[in-house]
Structure 1
């Protein structure tokens, strides 16, 4: 009740009249809890001084406040008990707000577990009447009543526990009293499921497949197997080991750590030895009655490109002929590689620019065949390097070299270093002299290279080349068999053949041009003025000859070559050097002034004609000039005709025709006699003609043959014929002072290739 509330009226309860009570003194002694109750002395009402808490005042279910009341006049004493009745002002509560229970997961269904009951200071129906448990599929409660009527609950296991599924169960227990309204108190129940070794270790997979690189370093981690055990404590501590199904070889190569399940490389791994390793790993826990699980592990060794490709020459043909046909098989080669995949795929090749190619015949077999024509003379042998390379990364390779030798075939003709040889031979050579070495080269070998030299026969003027020249058949040395005279034979043209000793033999020839080189072996011959006897010429000229008049012309001929036949003229002696001049090139002697009465009548001139050879050869002529008076004027007039004009004027032409007709028959007779005489001496065309004679071969031409006695007229003829490109010569007539003048084409001489040689004039040497 609240403070100030009237509990009772003692006067009424004690049967006293209030009016009576007012005149009397009442005294109440509250025994014990005086602070809670008091009495109105006037009215006798018992009222509450402060709020009364039954549960605080009384520990028992019943609660009384005792008091003594005394009334004076008369004094009366009353024993009064005020019962404090309970109201539901307290909710049930548990001594511990949280209850912890450890229950083994192996506990059987129906097992009970005591719970702390809830306390409620209220009594009677206000005390704890019931308990409620939060929803749980594993637990329920059962209410029990004690002897004192106290209510308490037992926790009942209605479904087996599994710690691995749920290790802790959180429950809520509520205590409800019977008051109106009801009050509730709650406590938390934490059930910890105790583990038992009821779970075997298990792996994530039943079978693992891993790859490991061959040649992995020792100690490198392959993989870490991991087994889990749903148990806890020692029941979940796992040890790893190989099963009996794991081979000893596998256990030698891989190490299994029993504590953490790491599998590491124990020995070097070679893919080519074992490609796959299989093992069974067992995981066992450490609980009582140990449980275990296992898994299979397949370790696949990954190939590394650690094996070089290999080459094997199965067959090899060497040497071979250089004329082997295209596609001829020379060698068969096999290749292999112990690696796998791209590491074991190999490619075979040979160097470029070789006349061979590779042709794949079957798996890993190749044929080396000829792809281009072979030529031993260019390349006598080949070092063929076979290189095999795999397709690994990085690629590995190997190579093997074989030497292919080519056998010679007679497929090359002998070759001279020149296609045309010009050999100069000095005339007057010694017979048997070496002219040149005409060596040919044959790039073939052995008998295909051995050469024999021949002169291809050719006749010149009924003379065989073999009579003029000789060649050494072994070395090609060319020799002259006779002495040559430039004035007779100037050159020869023939062929030399070089033939090898192959089968069949091959040959080639070369043209040889022998040029006879002139020596200065012929002295000049003075042909004008003509000297019938000795070397002194007597000439007459008019004393009235003008200055610059031609007195005489010295003409010398030299049968040597052009260089050696160039002639210059000089005075060796002259009676009066102021009277005559001599042209050193044409030999003309002219007056430098007119004759005077003091000049001697007879003049002596000695002229030397010298050639251009080394050393120079010469000839001399002495001219005795006698001056005449006008008696010979007619002749002088004729001689003064300018000789540079054409001598064949009308008058002279008639004279020549007349003289020619008279002497024609005589000239023909002389020429025929000379020719017949020379042929009897040497019938060969190449033979030297008779000296002091004019020789005419067939087809040659003698323009004129004229009987002449005057030197001036001879010189006029000389000028006229030389302008026509002819050579003018003269020969003495036996037993007479006259001479025969003949003209013939220039460049005459005997050649070795023409059957129609021109006429040649020979002079005494």
Structure 2
């Protein structure tokens, strides 16, 4: 005969009245007892209890569909009712319907994913699937990614479950994408930049559509790995270094510094001196003989002593290259200014030094106080305050007769001459610069007092010498003589 079918939601409490089996079989009350009715279950596990006196069929214990049917759908339990006198066998089926008693589950609570920062939008990364032991609307129906990063996720079910639904929050570059039967993939939705953000913590929420609605969360850590997409950047586009002249060889004169936003070997920087280029200020500069640079630290060292009077300033370029593949690099301009040191004493141009025939200045006895006798002219090879010169009368054979102006070296009479003044005088003039420490030179002036002479006397050389190329000292001397001549 045709089997009698019953339906019961899983997890129904023990003692629940399922049906009156005697009535459903068309038997009289008490007939089950008189005919020795008993029930036989597959696997010999008692699932239901029969009251032979009343014919009521009761739930013996809670029935778990996922345990009894192990994923089989529909879940139908078969059992038999056995009667004696006469022998009869009735087939009975019990269908357990699903309730939403299982949350979706992931095999692992967390997942680590490493993605290079130069990955193109749309790149797919497979992820592990979630499982839900329930069926129908009680199984997985919805995947949600939070927060929305540069990825997205879309999921897909088959059969009664239908298509999964995705929702996106915030504005970050990830998306979930459907594959097959609750399998999903993570898809890049926008460009990644490790230097802006090197890690994303994504929470994927999976929920079913049962009542009550159950959900679970899956954490994914996305680590963005570095690629060499940033060139080193100098802290300054140009550097100005001040170096005192006469420095000791090997002197550390300054440091250039660059940083790289990448990481690892992509951020390791090597510094170098670049050869002069066309258009540079000093294209013929022998840079390798002047300076060296430490490849790792960017420290610059002077290889030899610099001379301000020979080389006052020079420029060159330094390079910073990373160790990525391919390597990226940048340049910076370095200006070196050599600072003057007081290493030159004043040099007296006039009166000229001539031990054999010293120059003698003629002074009229009728000269008024303040009469300009001569002018000491001197130069200094240094610059700035190191070349500022002052003049001082150190010694005089007749104190109080002559004075020397401190700033221009003019030698003048301080009073009227008298008959008692000696006809010859000797003056020692000191010329001193303003350096630290100050350097000086001295010159001796010979003065001869004459009667009836009022014009300056300038000795003329007996014969003209062969012409020779003028040097710096000759130029200074000509200027000095012209200056002295203009005063008289």
TM-score (norm 1): 0.44
How many residue pairs get matched? 425
Is residue 527 from structure 1 mapped to residue 365 from structure 2 by the alignment? Answer: no
Partner Cα separation in structure 1 for residue 100 and residue 304 of structure 2: 89
User: What is the aligned partner in structure 2 of residue 455 from structure 1?
Assistant: 274
CA contact (8 A) 1:250 1:279 kept: no
Q: Which has the larger radius of gyration?
A: 1
Deviation at 1:566, TM superposition (A): 2.2
Match of 2:453 among 628, 632, 643: 632
Partner Cα separation in structure 1 for residue 95 and residue 177 of structure 2: 42
1:678-717 → structure 2 map (5 Å cutoff): 692-694=473-475, 712-713=484-485
User: What is the aligned partner in structure 2 of residue 399 from structure 1?
Assistant: 218
User: What is the aligned partner in structure 2 of residue 512 from structure 1?
Assistant: 334
Moved more, 568-577 or 510-519: 568-577
* Alpha-carbon distance change, 452 to 401 in structure 1, aligned in 2, over 3 angstroms: same
User: What is the aligned partner in structure 1 of residue 432 from structure 2?
Assistant: 610
SS in 1 for 2:469: helix
Match of 2:130 among 310, 335, 338: 335
CA contact (8 A) 1:452 1:500 kept: no
1:70-469 → structure 2 map (5 Å cutoff): 214=11, 267=61, 270=64, 272-273=66-67, 300=97, 302-304=99-101, 306-310=102-106, 321-339=116-134, 341=137, 344-349=140-145, 351-354=147-150, 355-375=173-193, 382=199, 385-390=202-207, 395-401=214-220, 404=223, 406=225, 409-431=227-249, 433-438=251-256, 440-442=258-260, 443=262, 445-446=264-265, 449=268, 451=270, 453-457=272-276, 460=282, 464-469=286-291
Deviations 1:22-45 (A, max 9, x none): xxxxxxxxxxxxxxxxxxxxxxxx
SS in 2 for 1:418: coil
Partner Cα separation in structure 1 for residue 237 and residue 231 of structure 2: 14
Q: Which has the bigger relative contact order, CA under 8 A and spacing at least 6? A: 2
CA contact (8 A) 2:349 2:480 kept: no
User: What is the aligned partner in structure 2 of residue 37 from structure 1?
Assistant: none
CA contact (8 A) 2:391 2:406 kept: yes
SS in 2 for 1:633: coil
SS in 2 for 1:273: helix
* Alpha-carbon distance change, 608 to 254 in structure 1, aligned in 2, over 3 angstroms: farther
Deviations 1:451-501 (A, max 9, x none): 473431469596543344445667655444443211111111122334456
Partner Cα separation in structure 2 for residue 390 and residue 535 of structure 1: 116
Partner Cα separation in structure 2 for residue 396 and residue 535 of structure 1: 116
SS in 2 for 1:564: helix
TM-score (norm 2): 0.65
CA contact (8 A) 1:210 1:298 kept: yes
Partner Cα separation in structure 2 for residue 264 and residue 715 of structure 1: 141
User: What is the aligned partner in structure 2 of residue 620 from structure 1?
Assistant: 442
Partner Cα separation in structure 1 for residue 214 and residue 329 of structure 2: 55
CA RMSD of aligned residues (A): 5.2
User: What is the aligned partner in structure 2 of residue 497 from structure 1?
Assistant: 319
Partner Cα separation in structure 1 for residue 474 and residue 40 of structure 2: 131
* Alpha-carbon distance change, 259 to 565 in structure 1, aligned in 2, over 3 angstroms: farther
* Alpha-carbon distance change, 593 to 461 in structure 1, aligned in 2, over 3 angstroms: farther
1:576-615 → structure 2 map (5 Å cutoff): 578=400, 580-595=402-417, 602-615=424-437
Runs of at least 5 residues in structure 1 that lack an aligned partner in the other structure: 1-205, 230-234, 283-294, 640-658, 660-665, 676-689, 696-704, 717-765
Partner Cα separation in structure 1 for residue 49 and residue 421 of structure 2: 149
Partner Cα separation in structure 1 for residue 391 and residue 51 of structure 2: 130
User: What is the aligned partner in structure 2 of residue 555 from structure 1?
Assistant: 377
Deviations 1:193-227 (A, max 9, x none): xxxxxxxxxxxxx9997767x4x8x77x8579899
